[in-house]
Copies of this chain bind each other. A is one copy, B any other.
Amino acid sequence: MRWLKFTASGQTSWGIVEGDGVVGVEGDPFGEWRRTERSYPLDGVRIEVPLIPRTFYCVGLNYLTHLKEAANKRGEVPNIPDRPEIGYRAQNALIAHDEDVVIPADATEKIHYEGELVVVIGKKVKHLTEHDAMSCVFGYTIGNDVSERTWQKADRGLWRAKNADTFKPMGPWIETEADPDKMETIVRLNGRQTIRFRTGDMIFGIVPFIVELTKYFTLWPGDVIWMGTDGASPDLKAGDVVEIEITGIGTLRNRFVTENR
């Protein structure tokens, strides 16, 4: 099932994508809901951010190629994580499919994309085991962990580098039936493929992350875990359009523009 948060006829609600259309739903997928009589063509609605997570988790270095390239740029030996550790991103930065990423006026030209699988949590859980870890996963969506690499070197806690307004496109919808082991992540810049990798080739997969996280943290419905990216990005500039496709989920598309101040 494909859950879309959308606005049509001035009303924002959840809906279920079916073919080229969306059926409006009362309630929300994490609680009680029922289908309504409202239905719209998909290309006639405004797609919204699927949700604002209560806590916004994000995995830093979780693919080997990305890790090695980042280390090489710093002139260091790659330091492969020996345990799954989590970070955070800021909710203010979230935008929807087709909304513009606004490059801050004082950013450098080192603006990069990072195409990521996003795990959406569906239940309040703690202390999950390897056996039942996946029971809390509601579905999957796509994230673009936009990064300003010059700030990334200087910022404490990556505060601007990863979290400036609009730096976290997420969407277009949440797919509940997808299988991460079969997914491929494909990034296109202005229509041309720049990278393609097996989404499941993570250093630590979804299960070990959920097991380790829930030793210490309660996960809540609507929490998200961004699972990291592979490869590297060219420098992006105003006018560029980045599409991140994850097979079995869909495509997240955003244009980059410059802040007008």
Task: Report A's interface with B, CB cutoff 8 A.
Answer: 52, 54-55, 57, 60, 81, 85-93, 104, 106, 126-127, 155-157, 159-160, 163-165, 215-220, 223, 261
Query: What chain B residues lie within 8 Å of A57 (beta carbons)?
Result: 90
Say how far A188's CB is from chain B's closest CB, in angstroms.
Answer: 27
A-B complex: 9 closest residue pairs judged by Cβ atoms: A87-B157, A164-B216, A85-B156, A88-B88, A55-B91, A55-B90, A86-B159, A160-B216, A55-B92
Q: Are A215 and B157 in contact (CB under 8 A)?
A: no
- Beyond A88-B88, A88-B89, list 20 extra A-B contacts (CB 8 Å): A54-B91, A54-B92, A55-B90, A55-B91, A85-B155, A85-B156, A85-B157, A85-B159, A87-B157, A88-B157, A92-B217, A92-B219, A93-B217, A104-B215, A104-B216, A106-B215, A126-B165, A157-B157, A163-B216, A163-B217
Q: Are B220 and A92 in contact (CB under 8 A)?
A: yes
Query: What chain B residues lie within 8 Å of A217 (beta carbons)?
Result: 90, 92-93, 163-165
Q: Report the separation of the CA atoms of residues A133 and B217 in the bound assembly, to the nearest whole angstrom.
A: 34
Q: Report the separation of the CA atoms of residues A163 and B54 in the bound assembly, to the nearest whole angstrom.
A: 13
Main secondary structure of the interface of A (DSSP, over half): loop
Q: Report the separation of the CA atoms of residues A7 and B106 in the bound assembly, to the nearest whole angstrom.
A: 46
Q: Are B87 and A156 in contact (CB under 8 A)?
A: yes
